[in-house]
Amino acid sequence: MHLKLSRLSLALALASVSVGVAAQQQAPAAEAAVERKSIMPTLEVIRVVGEAVPVLLEQTGTVVVLDRAQIEQIQPLSNQDVLRRIAGINVNSEEETAVVSNFGLRGLSASESKSLVLEDGVPVAPGLFIGNDRYFNPRIQRVEQVEVLKGSSSLRYGPSTIGGVVNYQTKTPDDGVKLSARAGSFNLREVGIEAGGKSESGDAFAGVVASHATSDGFMDKGYEMTDVMAKAGVVFNDAHKLGIKASRHENDANISYRGMLLADYLAGADYNPAPDDYFLTDRTGLDINHEWTLSSSSTLKTLLYWSEMTRDYWRYNVDTAASNEAGRWVYTDDLTGNNRSFDRVGIESRLSVDHQLFGKVASSEFGVRYMQEEANDTRIRAVRSSDRTGVNDRHIVDSADSVAAYAQSRIELTERFAVTPGLRVESYEQTRVVLTDDNATATTSNTEWLPGVGATYNLTDAAQLYGGVYR
């Protein structure tokens, strides 16, 4: 069943949603805020969302929404603190910053989620067709609302929606300045600022959300994280709106794959088993979106996005025999850097039309997307005294070009019963070049047709049956 609210913030192309209920827990960290603000900017173009009084719920799958008030009650250190409170999501934590995304939907592995992660409708996994989807997590400090979608409706977003879709909707700063700080266990220190303003006419706004956090970390797995996001938007006239968002994220985390050996684990030891291993990430992103109201019944939204990210993972080798004898890891001076960088550029357009179909009320959506990705994978062999420089003995460049299109129509057969047939097509070509193997090259391509159909039946104004079948 779906429960309805009078007003809901909707994600990109999420026409209507059910309500997610978050468990209310007292945060382990103490927080203080100094705030000066007036009213929120009326323009929220960059969010690629709208505010509306919903009519009949239209989704043919489960939707859960956690809004800003619920998130603030949780006082999360990471987005995984929020996700673990949503039914159907299992989380596998590695460290408190959740620099690595470990969650699964619908019973899928938390280490290989096969779920699409979006921020304001933009894919944020480093490589959808060429890389690991766990290497970057949007920071909870910039998140206004979390939306989770499962079922046949997720076909509109693809690829990698086997488990579903998670969309992090970012904040639009209030008109004014808000300063915040908190401290907690393991020497946690975090400061943040949100600042925004709008024009006198109310047709333009700009703002920034920034945070910096450090911690010694549980088991001495410390980190230093900086995250900055700037947003702006303008309404040119009744037909055209434009928004832009730029972001920069850096996180140096003292973490590793290595865990404790059995005896120390059973004894309750809490030291860092790999004190010199580091997981270093940074990401820069830019999103530009345009909304064109073609008529009272049709709207065209276009989204252009670009990002680049690096993930350097420096780990020391171990002496296995000595480690077994000592009961803990004995490290050598040999250092390996498994270092990767990812670049992406994409453009997506969605046309929404309200119309009549065979004499029935219908709403249709048509979308196209083009995206290019490239991943640069290097393995650096070094030693402790080399300051992380050495010989690159494995250098692989992966790239992918992909095109997608989809169409769906929601047809109201009666006042209570509606069906939503749809079709998505994903076509892509992948290329791998191994530079350390005489530029050995391999290319593959594939096209997949993904049909689906869903239905909703409104039992009452507050209860609904829904279902779907899809590939």
* Burial zone of 238 (CB within 10 Å; 0-12 exposed, 13-18 middle, 19+ buried): exposed
What's the helix, strand, coil split of the chain in %, to 5?
A: 10, 55, 35
Q: Are 155 and 452 in contact (CB under 8 A)?
A: yes
Q: What is the pLDDT of residue 6?
A: 31
Is residue 281 situated within a structural domain?
A: yes
Q: Which domain holds residue 129?
A: 8-470
Is residue 140 situated within a structural domain?
A: yes
Is residue 1 situated within a structural domain?
A: no
Q: In DSSP terms, which residues pair with 210 in a beta bridge? A: 193, 228
Is residue 2 situated within a structural domain?
A: no
Q: Are 339 and 350 in contact (CB under 8 A)?
A: no
Whole-angstrom distance, CA of residue 410 vs CA of residue 154: 15
Is residue 256 situated within a structural domain?
A: yes
- Helix (DSSP H) and strand (DSSP E) numbers for the chain: 4, 23
The token pair at 381 is 């062999």
Nearest 5°: phi and psi at 384? -55, -35
Q: Cβ contacts of residue 468 below 8 Å, gap of 6+? A: 60, 61, 151, 152, 153, 420, 452, 453, 454, 455
Closest CA to 149 of 256, 41, 247, 17: 17
The token pair at 283 is 């990401």
The token pair at 112 is 């290989």
Residue pLDDT, tens place only, 18-32: 333 333 333 344 444
Is residue 280 situated within a structural domain?
A: yes
Q: Are 368 and 405 in contact (CB under 8 A)?
A: yes
Is residue 46 situated within a structural domain?
A: yes
Nearest 5°: phi and psi at 119? -130, 115
Whole-angstrom distance, CA of residue 265 vs CA of residue 259: 9
Mark the ranges of the chain whose per-residue pLDDT is less than 70. 1-57, 95-97, 112-113, 132-133
The token pair at 105 is 């939907």
SS3 83: helix
Q: Residue by residue, what is the 3-state secondary structure of 312-359?
A: EEEEEEECHHHHHHHCCCCEEEEEEEEEEEEEEEEEEEEEEEEEEECC
Is residue 3 situated within a structural domain?
A: no
- Name the helix (H) or strand (E) containing 266: helix 262-266
* Burial zone of 462 (CB within 10 Å; 0-12 exposed, 13-18 middle, 19+ buried): exposed
The token pair at 177 is 């300045």
Angle at 310 (CA atoms; ends 308, 315), nearest 5 degrees: 170
Residue pLDDT, tens place only, 191-228: 999 999 999 888 999 999 999 999 998 899 999 999 99
SS3 116: strand
Residue pLDDT, tens place only, 391-418: 999 999 999 999 999 999 999 999 999 9
Whole-angstrom distance, CA of residue 173 vs CA of residue 197: 8
Q: Are 154 and 172 in contact (CB under 8 A)?
A: no
Q: Report which residue type is found at 169.
A: Q
Tell which phi-psi region holds residue 164, choosing left (phi > 0), alpha (psi between -120 and 50) or beta: left
Whole-angstrom distance, CA of residue 287 vs CA of residue 347: 10
Q: How many structural domains are present in the chain?
A: 1
Task: Assign residue 333 the CATH number of its domain.
Answer: 2.40.170.20
